């Protein structure tokens, strides 16, 4: 057993090694149970919903049983988590009457998609009936689902910092060695002209359209979430990013070399966005449509690009392959396959 973080007993790395396990390449396991327990409580406690009938708040997590861990198998990250959660909600009607009830989530697990979670909301037996129960079963349950989805995102980003990942030239760590490399690569993504101001040509430019397909070993819901959650975008780009994952929301990433706006969102199925490199002619955007296709044990991502300047077709293709597809697989383990 070896400490992962200096002075923090929660960060423990369990190494299962043999004589050939150089740099923990074959197997490294990190226990994420204590960290997960704290993170889940912080995300759920204090959640509130309101309506014309009154307001409700999650005031206590009364039971949180389960475990979580991350395995690095031959350089690929595999996530395991299973939780049984029970919480207390309190409501207050517009007339000032207070109510209390429970929330139960018995199946938060890596084997279940977020939309398959059983979120049971009930009113305590000694409480009179109230419309606030319905509020918690609809808006309240949806907020809880979002919070639990955020937990999974944080588990795959925040907690994985520093775990060994493979690269084309060997192995790298998400946080340390990749930081300097990311800076160099992100400069290259917009070529040598990335620092110059966009050119306003005042005329139409020749453009092209093309499509790409890539398969990821995860569900459509999890892959869809990667593109819309700021923390997850920051994780796979290894840099600060601004992402407003709503229709009409803006995004900016890779040191400002890429930015745009989400124009259409169909949950877990489709994302359409205006997208551009910062050195394209002023106000010129390509249209990127991403379709998430469920292929049983994996998700096929279809990316259709329209309006890409002719002279930037190859750079755009390579940029998407390297800075989206490969980076997402490396960061979240969506390219890993267990045999």
Domain assignment present for residue 185? The answer is no
Q: Tell me which of 156, 188, 222 is where a domain ends.
A: 156
pLDDT tens digits, 137-149: 999 999 898 889 8
Axis-axis angle for helices 220-228, 141-157 (nearest 10): 80
Instruction: Judge if 136 and 226 occupy the same domain.
Output: no
Number of domains, the chain:
2
Asked if residue 43 is part of any domain, the answer here is: yes
Do 77 and 144 reside in the same domain of the chain?
yes
Write the burial class of residue 180 (CB in 10 Å: 0-12 exposed, 13-18 middle, 19+ buried).
Answer: exposed
For residues 149 and 263, state if they share a domain. no
Same-domain status, 220 and 144: no
The pLDDT-based confidence of 302 (bands split at 50, 70, 90) is very high
Whether residue 181 is contained in a domain is answered as no
Q: Are residues 214 and 301 in the same domain?
A: yes
17 is a domain residue: no
User: Quick count: other Cβ atoms within 10 Å of Cβ 70?
Assistant: 21
Q: Encode burial over 272-297: b for 16+ CB neighbours within 10 A, e otherwise.
A: bbbbbbbbbeeebbbbbbbbbeeeee
- Residue 7: inside a domain: no
pLDDT tens, residue by residue, 19-44: 444 444 456 778 889 989 998 998 89
CATH number at residue 287: 3.30.530.20
Once rounded to an integer, what is the mean pLDDT over residues 243-253?
92
Query: What is the rounded distance in angstroms from the CA atom of residue 264 to the CA atom of residue 245?
Result: 11
Q: Determine how β-strand 286-295 pairs with β-strand 298-309.
A: antiparallel
- State which residues form the domain around 324: 207-332
Q: Are residues 226 and 325 in the same domain?
A: yes
**Is residue 197 pLDDT above 70, yes or no?**
no
Asked if residue 318 and residue 232 are part of one domain, the reply reads yes
* Rounded Cα gap, residues 67 and 81, in angstroms: 6
Residues 140 and 218 in one domain: no
Q: What pTM value is reported for the model?
A: 0.47
Q: What is the pLDDT of residue 8?
A: 39
CA-based end-to-end distance of the chain: 27
Q: Is 120 in the same domain as 212?
A: no
- Is there a domain that residue 51 lies in? yes
Confidence label for 227 from pLDDT (cuts 50, 70 and 90):
very high
């Amino acid at each position: 057993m070896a400490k992962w973080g200096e002075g923090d007993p929660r960060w423990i790395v369990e190494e299962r090694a043999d004589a050939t396990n150089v740099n923990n390449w074959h197997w490294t396991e990190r226990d994420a149970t204590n960290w997960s327990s704290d993170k889940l409580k912080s995300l759920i406690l204090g959640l509130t919903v309101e309506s014309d009938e009154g307001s409700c708040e999650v005031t206590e997590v009364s039971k949180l049983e389960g475990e979580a861990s991350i395995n690095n198998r031959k350089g690929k990250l595999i996530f395991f988590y299973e939780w049984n959660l029970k919480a207390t909600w309190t409501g207050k009607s517009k007339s000032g009457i207070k109510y209390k009830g429970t929330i139960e989530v018995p199946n938060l697990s890596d084997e279940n998609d977020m939309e398959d979670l059983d979120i049971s909301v009930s009113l305590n037996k000694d409480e009179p009936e109230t419309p606030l129960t319905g509020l918690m079963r609809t808006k309240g349950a949806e907020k809880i689902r979002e919070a639990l989805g955020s937990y999974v995102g944080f588990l795959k980003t925040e907690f994985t910092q520093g775990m060994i990942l493979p690269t084309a030239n060997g192995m790298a760590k998400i946080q340390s060695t990749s930081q300097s490399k990311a800076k160099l690569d992100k400069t290259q993504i917009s070529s040598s002209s990335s620092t110059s101001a966009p050119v306003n040509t005042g005329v139409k430019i020749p453009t092209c359209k093309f499509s790409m397909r890539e398969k990821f070993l995860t569900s459509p819901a999890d892959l869809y979430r990667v593109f819309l959650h700021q923390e997850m975008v920051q994780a796979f780009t290894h840099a600060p990013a601004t992402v407003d994952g709503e229709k009409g929301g803006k995004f900016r990433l890779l040191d400002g070399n890429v930015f745009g706006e989400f124009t259409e969102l169909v949950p877990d199925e489709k994302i359409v966005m205006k997208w551009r490199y910062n050195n394209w002619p002023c106000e010129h955007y390509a249209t990127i449509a991403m379709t998430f296709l469920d292929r049983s044990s994996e998700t096929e991502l279809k990316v259709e690009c329209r309006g890409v300047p002719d002279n930037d077709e190859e750079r755009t293709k390579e940029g998407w392959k390297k800075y989206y597809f490969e980076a997402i697989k490396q960061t979240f383990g969506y390219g890993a396959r267990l045999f």
